[in-house]
Amino acid sequence: MLQKRWNILPIDEQKVEELHQSLSISRTICNILIQRSVDSYNAAKKYFRPKLSDLHSPWLMKDMDKAVKRILTAIDNKEKILVFGDYDVDGTSSVACMYSFLKKNYNSELVDFYIPHRYREGYGISRMGIDFANQNNFSLIISLDCGIKATDLIAYAKSLGLDFIVCDHHLPDLVLPPAVAILNPKQSDCPYPYKELCGCGVGFKLITALCEKLSLDETNYLCFLDLVATAIAADIVPLTGENRVLAWYGLIKINNDPCAGIKALVQLSGIKNNFSIQNVAFIIAPRVNAAGRMDDARKAVLMFVEEDPIEALKYAEILHSDNSDRKEAENSITQEALALIEGNEMMITRNSTVVFKSHWHKGVVGIVASRLIEKYYRPTVVLTQSGNVVSGSARSVTGFNLYEAVHACKDHLLGYGGHFAAAGMTMLPGNVLAFSTSFEKAVSSTIEPHMLVPIINIDAEIEFKHIRSGFYNIISQMEPFGPENTRPVFISRNVHETGYSKIAKELHIRFVLKQDNCVLTGIGFNMAEKFHLLQMNNPLDIVFTIDENEWNGEKQLQLKMLDIRLSTTILS
Return the pLDDT at 569. 52
Average pLDDT over residues 423-438: 95
* pTM metric for this prediction: 0.92
Give the tens place of pLDDT for each residue, 492-547.
Answer: 999 999 999 999 998 999 999 999 999 999 999 999 999 999 999 999 999 999 99
Using omega within 30 degrees of 0 as the cis cutoff, is the peptide bond preceding 480 cis? yes
Q: Which residues of 373-412 are buried (b: 16+ CB within 10 A; e: fewer)?
A: bebbbbbbbbbbbeeeebbbbbbbbeebebbebbbebeeb
The CATH number of 456-566 is: 2.40.50.460
Residue 56: how many CB atoms within 10 A of its CB?
17
Q: Topology of 344-452 in CATH?
A: Diaminopimelate Epimerase; Chain A, domain 1 (3.10.310)
Give the tens place of pLDDT for each residue, 269-292.
Answer: 988 889 999 999 999 999 999 998
CB–CB of 417/423 below 8 Å? Answer: yes
Secondary structure element (H or E) that encloses residue 303, with its range = helix 298-305
CB–CB of 32/177 below 8 Å? Answer: no
CB–CB of 482/238 below 8 Å? Answer: yes
pLDDT at 225 over 60: yes
The closest alpha carbon to 95, from 116, 68, 121, 119, belongs to 116
What is the percentage of the chain residues whose pLDDT exceeds 70? 99
| DSSP result, 323-370 | HHHHHHHHHHHHHHHHHHHHT-HHHHTSSSEEEE-TTS-GGGHHHHHH
pLDDT band at 475 (very low <50, low <70, confident <90, very high): very high
Q: Give the chain's mean pLDDT.
A: 94
Return the pLDDT at 570. 47
β-bridge partners, 460: 490
β-bridge partners, 427: 390
Burial class (CB in 10 A: 0-12, 13-18, 19+), 43: middle
Radius of gyration of the chain, Cα coordinates, nearest whole angstrom? 25
The ranges assigned to domains in the chain are 58-320, 344-452, 456-566
Return the pLDDT at 572. 43
Question: What Cα–Cα distance (Å) separates residue 565 from each residue in 1, 453, 543, 568?
Answer: 13, 16, 9, 8
What CATH number matches the domain at 58-320, 3.40.50.300, 3.20.20.190, 3.90.1640.30, 1.10.530.10?
3.90.1640.30
Residue 363: how many CB atoms within 10 A of its CB?
23
Give the tens place of pLDDT for each residue, 315-363.
Answer: 999 999 999 999 999 999 999 999 999 988 888 889 999 999 999 999 8
- Taking the C-alpha atoms of residue 65 and residue 205, their distance in angstroms, rounded to an integer, is 12
Average pLDDT over residues 133-159: 96
- Taking the C-alpha atoms of residue 511 and residue 330, their distance in angstroms, rounded to an integer, is 31
CB–CB of 254/112 below 8 Å? Answer: no
Long-range contacts of 47-50 (CB under 8 A, 24+ apart): 47/244, 47/478, 48/477, 48/478, 50/244, 50/245, 50/248, 50/249
pLDDT band at 399 (very low <50, low <70, confident <90, very high): very high
Give the tens place of pLDDT for each residue, 13-66.
Answer: 999 999 999 998 999 999 999 999 999 999 999 999 999 999 999 999 999 999
Burial class (CB in 10 A: 0-12, 13-18, 19+), 58: buried
The residues near 519 (Cβ < 8 Å, ≥ 6 apart) are 464, 498, 512, 513
pLDDT at 120 over 90: no
Q: Quick check: helix, strand or coil at residue 20?
A: helix
The closest alpha carbon to 239, from 194, 291, 303, 290, belongs to 194
pLDDT at 308 over 90: yes
- Taking the C-alpha atoms of residue 59 and residue 206, their distance in angstroms, rounded to an integer, is 9
Return the pLDDT at 121. 83
Give the tens place of pLDDT for each residue, 227-245.
Answer: 999 999 999 899 999 999 9
The residues near 371 (Cβ < 8 Å, ≥ 6 apart) are 330, 334
Give how far the C-alpha of residue 74 lies from the chain's centroid of Cα atoms, to the nearest Å: 34
Q: Which residues of 253-289 are buried (b: 16+ CB within 10 A; e: fewer)?
A: bbeeebbbbbbbbbebbeeeeebbbebbbebbbbbbb
> One fold for both 344-452 and 456-566?
no
**Helical H runs in 24-126?**
27-35, 41-48, 64-76, 89-105
163-167 and 353-356 strand pairing: unpaired
| DSSP result, 195-260 | ----HHHHHHHHHHHHHHHTT--THHHHTTHHHHHHHHHHHT--SSHHHHHHHHHHHHHHHHS--H
CB–CB of 297/285 below 8 Å? Answer: no
Helices (H) and strands (E) in the chain, counts: 22, 19
415-418 and 380-386 strand pairing: unpaired
Lowest mean pLDDT among 111-125, 452-466, 492-506: 111-125
